[in-house]
Each structure stands twice: as C-alpha cells, then as structure tokens.
Amino acid sequence: MCHELILAGETAARVLAASRRGELELDRTDLHVIAPETCAHSAEDVREADLSPILASGALDNDPLHIFVTAPRLRAGLRGITHHLMPPELPEGSLLRVAPGILCPSWEFLFIRGCAEARTLSDAIMLGTEVCGTYAHQSVGHRDQPIETGLPRVSSTGELAAYLARATGMRGARKAREALRWVLDNTNSPREGILATLQGMPPRLGGLGYPRPTVNERIDVPRSKRHLTRSDHYLPDIFWDAFLLDLEYDSDEWHLKPRQVRRDKGRINDIQALGIRVMPVTTEMIDHFDQFELLERQVGEHMARTLGEPMRRHLGLLRQQRYVALRRQRLFEMLPPYQIH
C-alpha cells in the first residue's frame, strides 16, 4: 500500500521557509483526503520515504521529524519522530507535494494551525503578515529568528479568506478569522507590518483606529509630472492616497548602507515632488514607545487637516490612559524579539 508522509510542526515550517527561499520546489495538489490506513506513521514508513530533498534544504537539522497522522491510534512514542493529529478530510488547497509520497501543509493550512497554537492575537496577526508578505523567517512564524526580505509572496489575505470559508469548524479557524481582519498584504519586514497594521486596528485592540493604509502598492506618476521624477512609478511603503501621506520605514539592516541611503533620499525627493508628504520612520521610532507615540500623533495631525473635528476628537480619545496602555501592550507583543523600550 502506498503511504503518504505528511510533514507537520517545525519540520513543515522549515520546509515552507526553504521553498520560499528557492531551496525546495513544492507543487499544489488536489489531494485533501488522507485515510488513516494510507497515512505514514511508523519508523518503517519514514525509512521508506525519500527525505533527501528535505535533508538537502537543512529542514531536518537538529530536530525530530514532525509528521501528521489522521487517527489517534497512529500516534506512537517513537524516537526522533513527533506525531501531530489532523482530520482525515481537509479543505481543498490544504496540501503541497514535496516529493513522491511526501506532503506538506499549504501556507493557508499552516496559517490556521499556527493560529490555533498562537498564544496571543498579536502572534496570529504576525503569522498572517509573514504569509501574506514578502519576507520570511528561517522557520515560518518563529519571530525570534533572522529574516530574509524581498521574497515572492506565497499567499494573500484574499486567498486566506477563501480557504477559511472552506474550513468551517476546523481547529484554529475562529482565531484565524479574527487575526485576518487586521492582516495587510505586501509587507516587506515585521516592523513594517507592525507599523502598517496598528494604523487600522481599533483602539480597543491596541491600535490607532486610523483609516487603513496600503502597503508597497504601485502608484503611477502622472504624465504631467513625469519630468520631476526618476521613474514612472513608485511603491510607497505605507501610503494613504486620501491624505497624500507616505510612511517610509528605513530598517537598520538595509537602509543604513551608504549606497541605499543615497537611493532613499532620491526616491523620497521624487515622491514629495508628486505632492505627497513623506515621513521617514526608523527602527528606533518603532521600538521605543514614546517615539512611536510621537510619530502617530504627527500622522493623526496630518489626517486631521482633511478629516477635521471628528479626527481631532478621535485623537483626544487616543490620549486616554487606558488606550495608551493597550497600545503599549500590543506593540510589546508584536515586536520581533520583544524589544520595546
């Protein structure tokens, strides 16, 4: 009988991260029903599986092999193997093919499982931000690890929502739906994602309750202003078209390099020539709560010039101590190695 080895847990997270870096090729599969008798679970099943692609990617370094089984009776205490339980029937789009006889959870399935195990709403949101963004940790969802940026996007908020619509009653689905309400597409780093997400989250959840921005979405230079810029289009980091406001996150890892500093200055000048206000944001301005609060008061004041008295009343609400405390806690939970000062 042909058995399917279904990767789970840390093994799956590492395999997915390796595929995103181009070290492994995963294919979509229509398979979404795994009968218990076809589910690989024993040491013999594992020995028969060709794990060479996974070993080559480093996804099994210093860890037990984590695999899914579809019946409780298949969970056995085996040295070097950790079993996880999943239902025998999954929503379509739940599995990816790693190699013949080896499957891996899709990004959408991983998101739901990750949300089920998330300690906080912040953890679930940041997992969704990574899945829908253009960066990745060495192991998906492990926010204490280094990241690689500029990667292809592997899913989107729309694709996650469509999967969740097929996943009614699935473990983690409720928490995933709540988290997905606040996830934005296209973020290129965790801090950029935090900065963008908190703009639109309501004050009761530790956000600012501002209009939601777009992130790294293209704006075209009008023909009438083409002579003022170096390019015919730009991708503002965090942008509000209604307010002609752009927050440009300058990370320490990339934007402090001399060549990049020169490019950033030219890019900012170009965007400002289009009548857009650009506010540079440093890592320190996100990691230090007092600086973060000052930045957000400046953003709110800029918006109030358009929105008028209702926005000014909202800014007064945000100064209440209970909302300040909620923002501090939310930022503390969302920052990568919890570096708030």
- Per residue in 326-335, pLDDT (tens digit) is 999 999 999 9
Question: Which pLDDT value is given to residue 38?
Answer: 87
Question: Which pLDDT value is given to residue 337?
Answer: 62
Evaluate if residue 186 carries a pLDDT over 70: yes
User: What's the CA gap between 149 and 138, in Å, rounded?
Assistant: 11
CB contact burial 60-98 (16+ within 10 A = b; e otherwise): beeeebbbbbbbeebeeeeeebbbbebeeebbebbbbbb
Question: Which pLDDT value is given to residue 46?
Answer: 84
Give Cα 15 to chain centroid, integer Å. 17
Question: Which pLDDT value is given to residue 341?
Answer: 43
Evaluate if residue 338 carries a pLDDT over 50: no
- Per residue in 250-304, pLDDT (tens digit) is 876 555 555 555 667 889 999 999 999 999 999 999 999 999 999 999 999 999 9
Query: Domain residues of the chain, as ranges?
Result: 5-105, 107-183, 187-341
- Per residue in 98-136, pLDDT (tens digit) is 999 999 999 999 999 999 999 999 999 999 999 999 999
- Per residue in 75-102, pLDDT (tens digit) is 777 788 889 999 999 999 999 999 999 9
Who contacts 331 (Cβ-Cβ below 8 Å, separation ≥6)? 194, 198, 206, 286, 289, 292, 340
Strand pairing report for 277-282 and 95-99: unpaired
Treating both helix axes as pointing N-terminal to C-terminal, what angle do 121-131 and 321-334 enclose, rounded to 10 degrees?
A: 50
